[in-house]
Amino acid sequence: MNRVKFNTISGELIVNKQEDLYELDFPSVPSEEISVTEQMISALGIVPKEAYLNRDLVFILESEEEVRNVSPNFAALETLPEGLGVCVTAKGSEYDFVSRGFFPKLKVNEDPVTGSLHCSLIPFWANRLGKQEMVARQVSSRGGTLYCKHEDTRVKMAGRAVLYSEAEINIGI
């Protein structure tokens, strides 16, 4: 099977298998630049270069090393009035861009690989880097690589998957 469709709260989600990658197609999410506040700096434990808001707060950091080493105060992130999640991102060295995603408001301190964040990161970095196809790395402790495409109002992201479990459903009639 090379295509799977899921019905979700936000509509139909299609996953296409392409060789050893699974590609998802989502709407791109625009971000609006906002001012960095003292509360944000205190919660992050670092001064970001820029801040953006969509559903989440997105902070642009100076370097990949800063993204890897950021150690936020999760209790303070949870009290930020803006955004559901918090993302830190920077231009990468081996990858086009790197990121980390924190969701303490959802009781998830750090998400290992976050598709929803990339719906805004892909158009942001496509514009910043002048590229429509990029390779991104979420540098959480588990981490993950995403193969990204920006296509106007859509973003495509692909990655590898491993079989976690298998089940069989028997319906008795």
Task: Examine residue 108 and state whether it is found in any structural domain, yes or no.
Answer: yes
What is the residue whose two structure tokens read 């949870």? 78
Domain span at 148: 28-159
| DSSP string for residues in 71-136 | ---HHHHHT-SS-SSEEEEEE-SSSSEEEEEEEGGGTEEEESS-HHHHHHHHHHHHHHHT-SEEEE
Task: Examine residue 6 and state whether it is found in any structural domain, yes or no.
Answer: no
Task: Examine residue 19 and state whether it is found in any structural domain, yes or no.
Answer: no
pLDDT digits (tens, 9 = 90+) for 118-157: 999 999 999 999 999 999 999 998 889 999 999 999 999 9
Task: Examine residue 22 and state whether it is found in any structural domain, yes or no.
Answer: no
Give the number of domains in the chain. 1
Could you tell me if residue 19 is left (phi over 0), alpha (psi between -120 and 50 degrees) or otherwise beta? left
Task: Residue 112: give its domain's CATH number.
Answer: 3.10.310.10
Instruction: Say whether pLDDT at 11 is over 80.
Output: no
Q: Stretch 152-169: mean pLDDT, rounded? A: 85
- Residue 25, CA atoms < 13 Å, CB-side half-sphere: 16
